Structure 1
């Protein structure tokens, strides 16, 4: 695998159902850590009071 192929991948999935967000980590190294970072940034942008995590 080339080094460039390993970077800038989105190994997570966000699904919206009304005001409920489901977040799932993909497969790969650090994917759960990356998902935590994504969730944190989502909360900052959307505001915690405007949605719930499932």
Structure 2
């Protein structure tokens, strides 16, 4: 898995999609941050990982 990016598809309540590309470490660990505040749309957000 090392060297291959992980794609995270974030679907917002209005059904818009944002794609995040994250590079894992040699051990396969990855993380990213998402900021939500008072301007964020209320509702359900879905995350789909594509490895």
Q: TM over 0.5: same fold?
A: no
- Larger helix share, 1 or 2: 1
- Larger strand share, 1 or 2: 2
Of the two structures, which has the highest relative contact order with CA contacts closer than 8 Å and spacing of 6 or more? Answer: 2
